[in-house]
Chain A
Amino acid sequence: MTTSLERLEAPAAAGVRPAVEVAHLRKTYGTLVAVDDVSFSVAEGEIFGILGPNGAGKTTAIECAIGLRQPDAGTIRLLGLDPRADRDKVHEIVGVQLQAGALPGKLRVGEILEEYRSFYRDPGDVGELLEVLGLAGKRGDFYRSLSGGQRQRLSVALALIGRPRIAVLDEMTTGLDPKARRDTWELIEGIRGRGVTVLLVTHFMEEAERLCDRVALIDSGRVVALDTPASLAAQARGGKSVRFLPSAPFDEDLLTGLPQVARLEHQGQHVVVTGTGELVNAVILTLAAAGVTARDVQLDSSNLEDAFVKLTGRNPDKEGALA
């Protein structure tokens, strides 16, 4: 899998200057290379996903990008600002939700939000944000009485209360039930609708497919792929494939001899044929001509998850369960 240079650039039409620019970022801890060489660029108003297995360097890259860590090499610009040199300005325009953060148990939801709201010059409305995040009824509740999902949503709310121009969200839907997860996705689409750029770290492929305009797949501290989710999924497929149950034994050379067919495999009683072009028609017509019916025909439905597995050799869901 090669990443063409054009794909590193954000779509030019989406904005004048990139909202996030990371070039040749490198960060080591002693002998451990957490981030080897990461470059990507996010256009204003784009939702950009960072995917990768655990320990790939996603979180370190994000922490460098927002100025929490000093990179060993590389440059980072957030709307043209250096996250460490222009720290004050950056904190005003970048909202961050980090992984695994808690809050004092004996403060109420409203009290926490009012406190964080006071940090910003032009903050959003607490009531409105709680409404959107489905926490409207929880304003007077103590933090410790919130469920895991509610705490997570409050954490996202704190990242958004300053009305940031860039929102950085690290594993924002981890621990949420499917309903809460979908609600949060709608919220993210909503804030993008207001022109906010979103940088999203996730291990949920469904989330990346649903939300992200483009994703960078990071493995061992490097960007191994960077493209739209659909395009990555298509690349992972390596052509099309069709799986079927033949009604009778047939001469396999009939199919492997076809120009559209690259490979033929057996999966138990089923046959899987991989190839290009008008693969399905060619296979079914050829079989029919030989008096064989293809039953239980299934077309390949590879997705971002297949791309992930193919590019990293790991299963994102299992990684997620361990996290």
Chain B
Amino acid sequence: MSSLSLSLTRPSVLAARRTAFGQIVRNEARLVRRQPTNMIGSIGLPVVLMIIFGEVPTLNRPASELGGLTGFDTYVPVIMVLGLTMLALLGLPGPLVSYRELGILRRLSTTPVPPSWLLAAQVVVQLGVALAGLMIVNVVSVAAFGAPVPKSPAGLALSCLLAIGGLFALGLLIAALAPTANSVNAIGRLAFIPLMFFAGLWLPRALMPAALLQISNYTPLGAAVQAIQGSMQTGFPPAAPLLVLAAYTLVFAFLARRFFRWE
């Protein structure tokens, strides 16, 4: 990632570099479109879950133990981070590790374009998928299932970006450490369960005992759900979960950069 900096200054050269990056992004986007498995996991699965939860009567009555919210309302942020997690743990590192396995990163390091550009292009494309997924879940939850309109759209946007930051950095760390594309799957699936547990997939955060909730607050997905839920239901989220997400972003990104092997 260190070679991402552009040392060229002439405008024509800069334009050429932009074209090269654009071409890489274009082909990466084509690959995502042609191999839709990860889009199904990160957009399709959340929408299906939402439809199922939206049809369960007990989840759609305001509950006193959830502070007057419906179960469905508390699940929307969980479903949002679930899509992001699928994408970050599998969709992002998978292609990068297979590019290393196929010798594509190595081939690129013999061209004027550094292999880090391919990594950056992959992040750009997956960011697009992530934002599309979040948008779809939000719009469907409000339009089709009567969830309340988010109280703080700015807070929601910031929370989502920081959640993406922390999770994508974790995905890059997996890409750095996983030796093969198959091992990305194994690592991703293994990490998915504890991460999603603290997000409240099986036990909503509102029902967690105090000690468990404290732990959850300091996990990437616990903090993400806390920030997203706050933005949706009360207003601009508290600083604590945002700082936790920012810290995860920095730490995972540092480690990913430290351990990434280009061949």
Chain A interface residues toward B at CB < 8 A: 66, 68, 88, 91-92, 94-96, 98, 100-104, 106-107, 111-112, 114-116, 118-121, 158, 162
Contact = CB atoms under 8 A, between A and B. Distances in A.
Contacts, number: 68
Contacts of B102: 101-104
A114 B23 CA distance: 8
Nearest to B8: A88
24 contacts: A66-B110, A68-B106, A68-B110, A91-B111, A95-B110, A96-B110, A98-B103, A101-B106, A102-B104, A103-B102, A103-B104, A104-B31, A104-B95, A104-B99, A107-B27, A107-B31, A114-B23, A115-B26, A118-B16, A118-B23, A120-B112, A121-B13, A158-B107, A162-B111
Closest 9 CB pairs of A and B: A101-B103, A96-B110, A102-B102, A118-B23, A106-B34, A118-B20, A119-B113, A91-B112, A115-B23
B110 A91 contact: yes
* Dominant secondary structure at the A interface: loop
A221 to B, nearest CB: 21
Interface in B17-37: 19-20, 22-24, 26-27, 30-31, 34-35
A107 B31 CA distance: 7
Interface string B93-122: 001000100111011011111000000000
Given A98-B103, A102-B103, A119 B20 contact: yes
Interface residues of B, number: 26
Chain B facing A: main interface SS: helix
A66 B110 CA distance: 8
A144 to B, nearest CB: 11
B16 A115 contact: no
Given A98-B110, A107-B31, A118-B16, 12 more contacts: A88-B112, A91-B110, A98-B107, A101-B102, A104-B104, A111-B27, A112-B27, A115-B27, A116-B111, A118-B20, A119-B111, A121-B13
A120 B16 CA distance: 8
Contacts of B95: 104
A111 B30 CA distance: 10
A112 B106 CA distance: 16
Contacts of B112: 88, 91-92, 119-121, 162
Interface of B: 7, 13, 16, 19-20, 22-24, 26-27, 30-31, 34-35, 95, 99, 102-104, 106-107, 109-113
A118 B22 CA distance: 9
Contacts of A66: 110
Contacts of B34: 106
A81 to B, nearest CB: 13
B31 to A, nearest CB: 6
Nearest to A101: B103
Contacts of A95: 110
A118 B109 CA distance: 15
A191 to B, nearest CB: 17
A102 B101 CA distance: 9
Nearest to A102: B102
A25 B104 CA distance: 27
B111 A101 contact: no
B20 A94 contact: no
Contacts of A92: 112
A162 B110 CA distance: 11
Contacts of B113: 119
A107 B118 CA distance: 15
B163 to A, nearest CB: 29
A68 B99 CA distance: 17
B103 A68 contact: no
B109 to A, nearest CB: 6
A11 B30 CA distance: 49
A68 B108 CA distance: 11
